[in-house]
Amino acid sequence: MILDKGYAILQQNWRFKKLEVDLIASYQGLIVFVEVKSRSSADFGQPELFVTKKKQGFLVSAAHEYLVSNNIELECRFDIVSVLQNNNNTSVKHLEGAFYPSIK
């Protein structure tokens, strides 16, 4: 889905200490940090709802470390790819700009 839109995957499952980013991509001059969330049922909500504020904070911290350690000074964005696998049906949603870093 992301590749079809012209994203270039830079890293998969990038780790720093206990932090992890599922996908790091470049797209139209941006660095895009992507959290992939999948569920087998929507009984408790859509998969993207499980990217909590705490998880978002971890992603922002990891993104900061990635940008600093790679000396990247580009604008970044946080996306979520939501995958719902229900029986034989798979639904995939790409939520661009799904959340923004909070200021502390």
Residue 72 within a domain? yes
* Domain boundaries, position 59: 3-90
pTM of the full structure = 0.89
Residue 95 within a domain? no
The tokens of 81 are what?
Answer: 């790819």
Mean pLDDT across 16-33: 94
Per-residue pLDDT at 82: 92
Residue 84 has pLDDT above 70, yes or no: yes
What's the Rg (C-alpha) of the chain? 14
Q: Are 35 and 61 a contacting pair, CB within 8 Å? A: no
Give the chain's domain count. 1
Residue 84 within a domain? yes
Per-residue pLDDT at 42: 67
pLDDT greater at residue 84 or residue 46: 84
Residue 104 within a domain? no
CATH number of the structural domain spanning residue 46: 3.40.1350.10
| Residue 91: pLDDT band with limits 50, 70, 90 | confident
Q: What angle do CA 96, 100, 103 make, to 5 degrees?
A: 175
